[in-house]
């Protein structure tokens, strides 16, 4: 449970009993602390920036970020409990007294207090034209100008009341002011206002740094930028993923690799995200062509390389320099470019495709594995002497000397195993698979497969699993949960509350559970979600 300070409790009760402002009531299924659950999405579109003495706020249509220029680190993102509260933001200011964030929307205002993690909003009496503080009376609160005149949200008040104009108004900086202070900025915009699809972006907002050494700039295609005085081309302050759909994950020391799908407005990309969220390195391929895939299926690490299963083939990236990548498709030995699964053992990589299997003994190309099998493959796992394959009809084995797949004897005995297996994971010497409803597993040293109890009633149709401790994190259409082989998922993380989208992949490191979803990447602190 989130700790609720006495001050915050009193403030919240006051709003409910006395006010007409609308506190943004939480809709997530748990009351998360910011560090315990972080949603990392697309931060290329910025609605507003606001700079103060301690932090710079960056506002997207979905959340607020805080940047510390001194520590050079990000805090957040902070999501308003009501989705859509930030979609119509037009400008932002930092309160000169308590360093909280005030935002103008098309027809109202939003107030965010980061120390209390408290949000509120209110409506104005028309379209908002301007917001300001009065330097002669900073305690008075926020002034709002609409087509009908000025109103004021008093400090400690709960709604905008008609007011005289501020005597010495100070409002948000504008893009025009930033360009006027650095005329070369307008002329050089073509050098930096190009998104990865080579489309023109535009500047949406500006804020002068508190130390007067430069400008923070928001854009609608390349995120937030920092322009030091005297410079012509701004620097990008990178945060987030270049697209909304995170399709595949692979944990490495110090961070995680994320493969994002191609969308109408965003290219496919490979992104390294550091564990503490201080670094985001995005590679979206050559500017003219981009990365040659639309949908990501799986990521694995093999030595210094990252291998990706995609709908265009297998991509092998040099993790030290992702610009060095190679695509393997039918011409390089794959039976089909629609690759659905990858597995590796001792430098050997096996790829499962929509029409059979292939084996990479090195990085020069693939060779057939079980060439007589031309069916689809949804999962692969490599054992000491057998490659285990998830097929539409249950688990099968591929042995190098044989041209076809072998059906385990125990699977022949019952039709209950005749269902697709979507993922495999090794727990010590036990191979565990997951169907749409339940676990299946093979005991070590035995040709016997066991079918577990159905758990899809809790998580929906299952698709992924990853080992953690003495159990598994399992992802389904309805959420993610931890369970043992003979148990039921407890404290599930639900789609639409804890998760912003349907989970597509899972990864675990020492401290965090990472979930790739159709609406971004989510990082959960393990100690807060582990039963």
Residue 196 — very low, low, confident or very high, per pLDDT cuts 50/70/90?
low
Two structure tokens written together for 296:
């990501």
Place of tokens 């506190």: 23
At 18, which CATH number? Answer: 2.110.10
pLDDT digits (tens, 9 = 90+) for 388-422: 999 999 999 999 889 999 988 777 667 777 889 99
CA distance linking residue 219 with residue 217, whole number of Å: 7
* Residue 348 included in any domain: no
Q: How confident is the model at residue 352 (pLDDT cuts 50, 70, 90)?
A: very high
Q: Check the CA dihedral 484-488-491-492 and report its sign.
A: positive
Q: What would you report as the CA-atom Rg of the chain, rounded to the nearest whole angstrom?
A: 26
In a domain, 26, yes or no: yes
Domain of 120, in residue numbers: 6-237
Contact 299, 308 (CB under 8 A): yes
> Which are the contacts of 505, defined by CB distance < 8 A and separation ≥ 6?
246, 247, 248, 249, 298, 299, 464, 475, 515, 516
pLDDT (tens digit per residue) in 97-149: 889 999 999 999 999 999 888 898 888 888 999 999 999 888 888 999 998 99
For residue 402, CA distances in Å to 125, 137, 330, 386, 500 come to: 77, 84, 22, 11, 45
Report yes or no on 384 lying in a domain.
no
Q: How many CB atoms lie within 10 A of CB 515?
A: 29
CA 62, distance to chain mean position in Å, is: 12
Is 408 domain-assigned?
Answer: no
Is residue 504 included in any domain, yes or no? Answer: no
> What DSSP assignment string belongs to 13-57?
HHHHHH--SEE----SSS---TTTEEEE-B-S--SEEEE-SS-EE
Using one digit for the tens of pLDDT, what is the confidence trace for 199-213? 678 889 999 999 999
- Let me know if residue 499 belongs to a domain: no
Between the two ends of the chain, the Cα-to-Cα distance in Å is 14
Q: Tens digits of per-residue pLDDT, 168-186?
A: 999 999 999 998 888 877 6
Residue 391 domain-assigned (yes or no): no
Whether 314 and 353 have beta carbons less than 8 Å apart is answered as no
Tell whether 410 is covered by a domain. Answer: no
Token pair recorded at residue 31: 């009351």
Q: What is the total count of domains within the chain? A: 1
């Amino acid at each position: 449970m989130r700790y609720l300070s006495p001050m915050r409790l009193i403030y919240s009760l006051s709003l409910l009993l006395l006010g007409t402002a609308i506190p943004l009531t939480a809709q997530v299924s748990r009351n998360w602390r910011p560090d315990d659950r972080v949603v990392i999405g697309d931060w290329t579109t910025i609605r507003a920036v606001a700079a103060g003495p301690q932090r710079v706020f960056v506002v997207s249509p979905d959340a607020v970020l805080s940047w510390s220029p001194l520590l050079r680190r990000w805090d957040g993102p902070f999501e308003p409990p009501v989705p859509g509260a930030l979609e119509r933001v037009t400008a932002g200011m930092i309160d000169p007294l308590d360093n909280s964030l005030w935002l103008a929307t098309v027809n109202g205002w939003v107030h965010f207090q980061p120390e209390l993690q408290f949000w509120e909003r209110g409506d104005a009496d028309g379209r908002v034209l301007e917001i300001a503080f009065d330097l002669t009376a900073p305690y008075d609160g926020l002034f709002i100008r609409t087509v009908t005149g000025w109103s004021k949200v008093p400090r400690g008040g709960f709604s905008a009341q008609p007011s005289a104009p501020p005597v010495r108004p100070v409002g948000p900086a504008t893009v025009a002011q930033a360009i006027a202070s650095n005329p070369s900025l307008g002329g050089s915009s073509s050098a930096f206002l190009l998104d990865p699809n080579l489309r023109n972006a535009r500047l949406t907002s500006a804020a002068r740094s508190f130390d007067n050494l430069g400008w923070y700039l928001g854009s609608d295609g390349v995120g937030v930028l920092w322009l030091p005085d005297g410079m012509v081309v701004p620097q990008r302050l990178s945060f987030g993923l270049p697209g909304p759909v995170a399709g595949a994950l692979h944990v490495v020391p110090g961070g995680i690799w994320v493969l994002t799908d191609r969308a109408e407005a965003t290219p496919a990309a490979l992104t390294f995200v550091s564990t503490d969220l201080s670094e985001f390195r995005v590679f979206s391929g050559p500017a003219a062509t981009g990365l040659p895939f639309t949908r990501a299926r799986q990521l694995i690490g093999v030595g210094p390389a990252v291998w990706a299963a995609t709908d265009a083939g297998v991509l092998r990236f040099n993790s030290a320099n992702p610009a060095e990548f190679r695509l393997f498709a039918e011409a390089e030995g794959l039976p089909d470019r629609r690759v659905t699964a990858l597995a590796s053992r001792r430098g050997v990589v096996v790829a499962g495709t929509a029409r059979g299997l292939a084996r990479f003994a090195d990085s020069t190309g693939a060779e057939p594995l079980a060439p007589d099998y031309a069916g689809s493959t949804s999962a692969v796992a490599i054992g000491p002497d057998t490659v285990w394959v998830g097929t539409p009809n249950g688990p099968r084995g591929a042995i190098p000397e044989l041209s076809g797949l072998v059906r385990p004897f125990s699977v022949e005995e019952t039709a209950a195993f005749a269902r697709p297996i979507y993922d495999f994971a090794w727990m010590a010497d036990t191979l565990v698979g997951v169907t749409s409803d339940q676990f299946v597993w093979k005991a070590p040293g035995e040709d016997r497969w066991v079918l577990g109890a159905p758990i899809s009633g809790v998580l929906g149709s299952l698709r992924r699993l990853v080992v953690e401790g003495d159990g598994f994190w399992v992802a389904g259409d309805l959420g993610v949960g931890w369970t043992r082989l003979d148990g039921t998922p407890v404290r599930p993380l639900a789609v639409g509350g804890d998760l912003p989208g349907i989970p597509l992949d899972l990864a675990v490191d020492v401290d965090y559970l990472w979930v790739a979803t159709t609406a971004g990447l989510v990082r959960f602190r393990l100690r807060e979600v582990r039963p």
